[in-house]
Amino acid sequence: MPKSGVIILKQGREKSALNFHPWIFSGAIDTKRTNQHEIENGALVEVRDYQGQFVGRGIFNIDSAIRVRLLSWDQNEAIGPAWWRVRLAQAIAARQTLAERDDLSTYRLVNAESDGLPGLIVDRYGDFLVVQFLTLGVEVRKEMIIEALSDLIKPLGIYERSDVDVRQKEGLDESVGLLWGDPLPERVEIVEYGVRYPVDILQGHKTGFYLDQRDSRHWLLTSPLVGGRDVLNCFAFTGGFGVCAALNGAASVVNVDSSQPALDIARETMSINGLESGDATYVNADVFAQLREYREAEREFDLIILDPPKFAHSAKQVEKASRGYKDINMLAFQLLRPGGLLATFSCSGQVSPDLFQKIVFGASADAGVQAQIIKWLAQPEDHPVLLSFPEGRYLKGLICRVMR
CB of 47 to ligand SAH, least distance (A): 37
Tell me how many residues contact ligand SAH (CB under 6 A): 18
Q: Which of 234, 244, 347, 400 is catalytic?
A: 347
Comparing CB distances to ligand SAH, the nearer of 240 and 340 is: 240
CB of 222 to ligand SAH, least distance (A): 16
Cα separation, 174 vs 186, whole angstroms: 21
What sign does the dihedral 90-93-98-99 (CA atoms) show? positive
Comparing CB distances to ligand SAH, the nearer of 55 and 266 is: 266
At 51 the three-state DSSP class reads coil
Compute φ and ψ for 354, nearest 5 degrees.
-60, -50
Binding status of residue 237 toward ligand SAH by CB under 6 A: yes
**In the set 16, 26, 41, 259, which binds ligand SAH (CB under 6 A)?**
259
Q: Give me the half-sphere count of Cα atoms (radius 13 Å) on the Cβ side of residue 401.
A: 8
Cα separation, 139 vs 172, whole angstroms: 9
Give CA separation, 159 vs 163, 180, 184, 202, 333, in Å.
Answer: 12, 7, 8, 9, 41
Sequential DSSP letters for 299-359: --EEEEEE-PPP--SSGGGHHHHHHHHHHHHHHHHHHEEEEEEEEEEE--TTS-HHHHHHH
Binding status of residue 397 toward ligand SAH by CB under 6 A: no
Cα separation, 137 vs 84, whole angstroms: 12
Comparing CB distances to ligand SAH, the nearer of 10 and 310 is: 310
Residue 303 contacts residue 245 (beta carbons within 8 Å): yes
Smallest Cα–Cα separation from 214: which of 19, 400, 395, 33? Answer: 395
Applying the rule CB under 6 A, the residues between 191 and 210 that interact with ligand SAH are: 210
Comparing CB distances to ligand SAH, the nearer of 123 and 307 is: 307
Residue 242 contacts residue 253 (beta carbons within 8 Å): yes
Which segment (90-98, 153-161, 223-231, 256-264) binds ligand SAH by CB under 6 A?
256-264
Instruction: Find all residues with CB under 8 Å of 354, minimum gap 6, and list them.
Output: none
Sequential DSSP letters for 282-303: EEES-HHHHHHHHHHTT--EEE
Cα separation, 10 vs 48, whole angstroms: 9
In angstroms, the first-to-last Cα distance of the chain is 66
Compute φ and ψ for 342, nearest 5 degrees.
-120, 120
**In the set 155, 240, 340, 392, which binds ligand SAH (CB under 6 A)?**
240
Binding status of residue 235 toward ligand SAH by CB under 6 A: yes
Binding status of residue 245 toward ligand SAH by CB under 6 A: no
Cα separation, 265 vs 126, whole angstroms: 18
CB of 327 to ligand SAH, least distance (A): 11
CB of 234 to ligand SAH, least distance (A): 7
**In the set 123, 160, 230, 257, which binds ligand SAH (CB under 6 A)?**
257
**In the set 41, 72, 175, 258, which binds ligand SAH (CB under 6 A)?**
258
Binding status of residue 261 toward ligand SAH by CB under 6 A: no
Comparing CB distances to ligand SAH, the nearer of 139 and 230 is: 230
Which segment (29-37, 91-99, 166-174, 255-263) binds ligand SAH by CB under 6 A?
255-263
Parallel, antiparallel, or unpaired for β 188-192 and 195-199? antiparallel
CB of 334 to ligand SAH, least distance (A): 18
Binding status of residue 329 toward ligand SAH by CB under 6 A: no
Comparing CB distances to ligand SAH, the nearer of 125 and 235 is: 235
CB of 83 to ligand SAH, least distance (A): 35
Applying the rule CB under 6 A, the residues between 262 and 301 that interact with ligand SAH are: 262, 286-288
**In the set 84, 125, 219, 241, which binds ligand SAH (CB under 6 A)?**
241
CB of 347 to ligand SAH, least distance (A): 8
Q: For the chain, what's the residue count?
A: 404
**In the set 309, 338, 339, 390, which binds ligand SAH (CB under 6 A)?**
309
Q: Is 347 a catalytic residue?
A: yes
Instruction: List contacts with ligand SAH (CB under 6 A).
Output: 210, 213, 235-238, 240-241, 257-259, 262, 286-288, 307-309
- Positions marked active-site: 347
